[in-house]
Structure 1
Amino acid sequence: MNSRADSSLVLAIELAVCCIALAALLVPEWDVALVKVETVPSGAEIRLSNGLVFTSPAEIPVLSGGTDITVSLDGYASADTTVTLGDSGVVVTLGYVFEVEVTSAPSGALVLADGEIAGTTPVTLRFDRPGRHVLEVLSDDSLSMRDTVVLASNRPRSVHFDFPLRTPQGLVFIPPGIHDFASGSDDRSLRREVALDGYYLATCEVTNSMFCAFLNCADSMIPHDSSGIGPRTELLDSLFRCDYPIEIEVLPEGFAVREGLEQYPVRGVSWEACVAFCNWLSSAEGCSFAYRLPTEAEWERAATVGDGRRWPWGDSEPSGNLLNCSDRNEALACREPLLDDGYAETAPVGSFPPNPWGLYDMSGNVWGWCADWAGGAGSPAGDGDTVKCLRGGSWLSSAGDCSCFSRFGASSSLGYPFAGFRVAADRLPDSGSASSNPGDAGSPMPAVTAVPGARFVPSGSLRDGQGR
């Protein structure tokens, strides 16, 4: 009997040892100490990896292998750390969080913060470090805007983007704003802030087809010698003040664009001819706008999309896929022999990618006449100044001379084979009564009846042949 009892006791002891060993395997670590955790500032939430939550300052249970904690407090960046048995006490200092509220009109734009997708407007961004941060917003119709914010305190900031609005007629409405006007200078000390009202700008340069429509309607505005002087008339001579062939010819039935050149930018027109075109467009029946040449500041803001970029497409260096300049195909100067844009001289408008606001050929193709005289940033101007400014470079320029800040001055009464223009416009006061949306523009250019037999189709808008 004693031997049987001894055997049962041994079996019981062995079973107990097995249970203890199994428990040790299932629970590898036990709370073995309490360690005090403080935070700066105090009152932060301390969340342990096992789900327990404390408020600082607090003594928390620490495992033999250490305990992972997350410390968080509104207005501050969360911090993760590990508390070990060797710590007599832990102090966690929380850094500021920098909030930026991003809104846009219209809303719903995709927001990128420092190149990473961060949501859609309206959205509040939280940065855990001060300094410069780049914000970019993309609208549903692929327009984009960019701004840089400098965060130095944890006070909430707000950034609002007003997107340009496209109209069905080939104009883009540029919202009002403050522009850091460079006026052709890379010297920031010469820049000045210019407050601009909202305005419209054509997405493309005026084409030969558009200008030809004007010529065939201009008899009542400008003396027209229908007898012709060789291939020219007094009308053409008054508008194209140059001695080289132009791309519009005179037929017995009227003016016509040389075949195949309808969608190329008109060039060789003087500044005064551009003003005459704008005046005609403004006085045409059914117009909702007053047309004019853009000012330098308006042109520059549209080209740089308001963020001061050197090139309309962004920061990458020029290539033959981005602009039309004096490349290997251009025989007169060939300033960029390593580039190939595919054209010897001008290219059809809209042949190269637009800038983020949907504007084509803001670099290269033809220099664009502006309303201002060419005195430069900070120079006083008068109505009598006849040297006017051109911006953006051309097919005869080096790539460097096609930047958003490139400019030069020329006589307003002469035409040049590398100079053209695009129109700006202001909505007439009573034309917006039907709609408060600047993008709901009325018809800016009336249909023009073609002279029978002439080889051109006048445009019904300021779009190019591809609907841009």
Structure 2
Amino acid sequence: MISKLIRFICLVSFILMLGCKSKTEKLDDSANSNTESPQRPPAKAPEGMVWIPGGDFMQGAVPNDRMAMDHEKPAHKVHVNGFFMDIHEVTNAEYAKFVDETGYVTVAEREIDWEEMKKQLPQGTEKPHDSILRPGSLVFKKTKSSVPNLYDYSQWWEWKIGANWKHPDGPESDIEGKEDHPVVHIAYEDAIAYCEWAGRRLPTEAEWEYAARAGKTDNKFFWGDDVSQLGSHVNSWEGEFPVENTLEDGFERTAPVMNYPKNDFGLYDMAGNVWEWTGDWYNTDYYEELASNTGAAQNPKGATSAFNPSNPYAEERVIKGGSFLCSASYCASYRISARMATSPDSGMEHLGFRTVWSE
């Protein structure tokens, strides 16, 4: 019974952006817009941003990456124009300023409307007890013993009432002293709202991956191919996931931004720490579509619609970069080409974002 309840809660967590679907659809164009921009900076870099010069690259898994998943293939040629990008993930302090000035309430803080929620669930799903249908978010929990099935994420995720960006580990926690940590428990709509306030947008998946690669054509990681350097370059899980973290990199959960080496474009935390939203729909057919075209795809904005045969009830967006939970045994998503599908409704303890700007 408990296992079924956890699975239900995990499903519920992915559709909590209630009543906001139409609003999100209206925002899609601004989030995915990719206007023409020169290859030299059109202006002085905004504070906290760096210029990413445009160019061509092969998006997707490199040939020597044995850990690459099918949805990272086939690699395909892409051209992106230049753009400005945040040098680090949006922090708690930056998000707090936005909330203070606008009064914005994140998805994880809003009351839940069952009548709206059940429209997005399989027909016949029973309403859970009112004690469960309260605002909250997914929080990571260690297991007490080894986990034989790493595909069952319900074993290490817990729906915690009262968890949100201000209380990342639950209602008893806070962000005091973590002002320079990346903001988490951010749903897609929450990221878009911040972007509109800041006059920015989310990166496309192609822009994000191009920026992360920073000219390293054939490398799996932003620093090269030597995985032994992982602990000194990335905030990730080291040890047996999800039982024990050896803390070799110094942190068990989020780390302050700019704590690890930057890549060759001057960007920090493009691997590990927290996953980052992009503006692209996740579609398992999209890479094949791009690879079938002649020449480089010009500033691709992602698929026109979402499609994931393994998750038919959710329309998902692409997130990039991996998080503090990524390990070699679990997802190894600190690799440049790694990607994951996540429902726009979902805000979790290891999910944040950064912004871009182009004229």
TM-score range, shorter chain: 0.5 to 0.7
The match for 2:182 among 265, 269, 281 is: 265
1:181 aligns with 2:59: yes
Whether the aligned pair in 2 keeps the contact of 1:164 and 1:175 (CA below 8 Å) is: no
Unaligned runs of 5+ in 1: 1-160, 225-230, 250-255, 283-290, 428-468
Report the equivalent of 1:327: 238
Letter in 2 for 1:323: V
Change (3 A) 1:345 1:353: same
Report the equivalent of 1:215: 99
Q: Per-residue deviation at 1:186? A: 7.0
Whether the aligned pair in 1 keeps the contact of 2:55 and 2:82 (CA below 8 Å) is: yes
The match for 1:361 among 269, 285, 297 is: 269
Residues 300-331 of structure 1, C-alpha deviation per residue, up to 9 Å, x if partnerless? Answer: 11111133321111232243211110124x98
The match for 1:198 among 82, 101, 110 is: 82
Change (3 A) 1:241 1:273: farther
SS state at 2:102 partner: coil
Q: Per-residue deviation at 1:179? A: 2.1
Letter in 1 for 2:251: Y
Task: Give the fraction of aligned pairs with identical amino acids, expressed as a percent.
Answer: 32
Q: Per-residue deviation at 1:271? A: 1.3
- What pairs up with 1:154-165 in 2 under 5 angstroms? none
Whether the aligned pair in 2 keeps the contact of 1:331 and 1:344 (CA below 8 Å) is: no
Change (3 A) 1:173 1:414: same
- What pairs up with 1:58-457 in 2 under 5 angstroms? 167=45, 169-182=47-60, 190-219=74-103, 222=104, 232=109, 242=138, 243-244=159-160, 245-248=163-166, 258-282=175-199, 291-308=200-217, 309-317=219-227, 318-328=229-239, 332-334=242-244, 337=246, 340-376=248-284, 377-378=287-288, 381-382=303-304, 386-399=315-328, 400-427=332-359
Change (3 A) 1:164 1:280: closer
Whether the aligned pair in 1 keeps the contact of 2:283 and 2:305 (CA below 8 Å) is: no
Whether the aligned pair in 1 keeps the contact of 2:221 and 2:336 (CA below 8 Å) is: yes
Whole-angstrom distance in 2 between the partners of 1:238 and 1:390: 26
Across the aligned residues of Structure 1 and Structure 2, the Cα RMSD in angstroms comes to 3.7
Change (3 A) 1:345 1:183: same
Whole-angstrom distance in 2 between the partners of 1:320 and 1:365: 12
Whole-angstrom distance in 2 between the partners of 1:322 and 1:389: 23
Letter in 2 for 1:248: K
Letter in 2 for 1:378: E
SS state at 2:191 partner: helix
Residues 179-225 of structure 1, C-alpha deviation per residue, up to 9 Å, x if partnerless? Answer: 21117957897121112111111110000111111111223xx579x
Change (3 A) 1:239 1:207: farther
Whether the aligned pair in 1 keeps the contact of 2:61 and 2:73 (CA below 8 Å) is: no
Q: Per-residue deviation at 1:165? A: 9.8
Unaligned runs of 5+ in 2: 1-38, 63-67, 113-132, 139-158, 168-172, 290-301, 308-314
Identify which of structures 1 and 2 has the higher relative contact order when contacts are C-alpha pairs closer than 8 Å and 6+ apart.
Answer: 2
Change (3 A) 1:299 1:280: same
Q: Per-residue deviation at 1:401? A: 2.3
Q: Per-residue deviation at 1:263? A: 0.5
Whether the aligned pair in 1 keeps the contact of 2:216 and 2:222 (CA below 8 Å) is: no
Whether the aligned pair in 2 keeps the contact of 1:240 and 1:268 (CA below 8 Å) is: no
Residues 223-258 of structure 1, C-alpha deviation per residue, up to 9 Å, x if partnerless? Answer: 79xxxxxx95669x9997554333516xxxxxx962
SS state at 1:402 partner: coil
Letter in 2 for 1:363: A
The structure number with the bigger radius of gyration is 1
How many residues align? The count is 243
Whole-angstrom distance in 2 between the partners of 1:425 and 1:223: 24
Residues 386-405 of structure 1, C-alpha deviation per residue, up to 9 Å, x if partnerless? Answer: 30011111001115321111
Change (3 A) 1:294 1:189: closer
When you count helix as a share of all residues, which structure comes out higher?
Answer: 2
Whether the aligned pair in 2 keeps the contact of 1:239 and 1:273 (CA below 8 Å) is: no
Q: Per-residue deviation at 1:163? A: 9.8
Whether the aligned pair in 2 keeps the contact of 1:208 and 1:261 (CA below 8 Å) is: yes
TM-score of the superposed pair, with normalisation by structure 2: 0.59
